[in-house]
Amino acid sequence: MKHTVLLTTCICFYYAATAQQPGTPIKLNLEHATVFLNGALLENTATVNMAKGDNEIVFTNVAATVNTQSIVINATNGVAVASSTFSTNYQPVATPSKIVTRLQDSIDMIGQKKVPINIKIAVIDDQLKLLQTDITETGDNKPAPSTDEIAKMIALIARKKEALLLDRQKQVEQSQRIDLRIAALNAKISEEAGKGAVPGGQLSVKLYAREATTSNITIKYVVTNAGWSPAYDIWADDVKSPIRLYYKANIYQGTGIKWDKVRLTLSTGNPQEGMQPPVISPWYLSLTAPPQPVVTELTTTTTTKTVAYRRPLIDKYQNNSVMTSVSRSALPTTSTTDLVSLTPGIYQSKRGADVNSDYGRTQQVASMTNYVAVDNSGVNTTFDIDVPYSIPCDGQQHAVSVKEYEVPATYQYYAVPKMDRDAFLQAEITSWSDLSLMPGPTNIFYEGTYIGQGNIDPRTIKDTMYLSLGRDKKIVIKREQDKKLHAVKKTSENEQETFTYNTTVRNTRKEPMTIFVNDQLPVSNDKDLVIEKAEGGSGDYDPTSGTVAWIVTLKPNETKKLSFSYTIKHPKERDVVGMR
Domain extents in the chain: 2-90+203-224, 98-196, 227-272+337-473, 476-571
Helix (H, G, I), strand (E, B) or coil at 556: coil
Domain 98-196 class, CATH top level: mainly alpha
Residue 457's pLDDT is 83
Residue 375's pLDDT is 56
Q: DSSP state, 335?
A: -
**Is residue 48 classed exposed, middle or buried when 0-12, 13-18 and 19+ CB atoms within 10 A define those classes?**
buried
Residue 163's pLDDT is 87
- Residue 225 carries which side chain, given as an amino acid letter? N
Strands 53-62 and 25-27 turn out to be parallel
Give the HSE-up count for residue 254: Cα atoms under 13 Å, Cβ half-sphere: 8
**Phi-psi domain of 358 (left: phi exceeds 0; alpha: psi -120 through 50; beta: other):** alpha
Weakly modelled stretches of the chain, pLDDT under 50: 1-18, 93-94, 298-366
Residue 369's pLDDT is 55
| Contact by Cβ (8 Å): 258, 392 | yes
Phi, psi of 285 (to 5 degrees): -115, 150
Q: Are 98-196 and 476-571 in the same CATH fold?
A: no
CA distance 383 to 374: 5
Strands 29-35 and 259-267 turn out to be parallel
CA distance 570 to 230: 54
Q: DSSP state, 323?
A: E
Phi, psi of 434 (to 5 degrees): -90, 5
Phi, psi of 119 (to 5 degrees): -65, -45
- Residue 6 carries which side chain, given as an amino acid letter? L
Q: E strand or H helix at 53, and its extent? A: strand 53-62
Q: Is the dihedral of CA 464, 469, 475, 480 positive or negative?
A: positive
Residue 578's pLDDT is 78
Fold of 476-571: Immunoglobulin-like (2.60.40)
Residue 140's pLDDT is 58
Helix (H, G, I), strand (E, B) or coil at 29: strand
Q: DSSP state, 278?
A: P
Q: DSSP state, 287?
A: P
Give the HSE-up count for residue 319: Cα atoms under 13 Å, Cβ half-sphere: 0
Contacts of 302 (CB under 8 A, 6+ apart): none
CA proximity to 168, closest of 110, 117, 114: 117
Q: How many CB atoms lie within 10 A of CB 332?
A: 6
Residue 6's pLDDT is 47
Residue 287's pLDDT is 73
| Contact by Cβ (8 Å): 366, 404 | yes
Phi, psi of 324 (to 5 degrees): -95, -15
Q: DSSP state, 354?
A: B
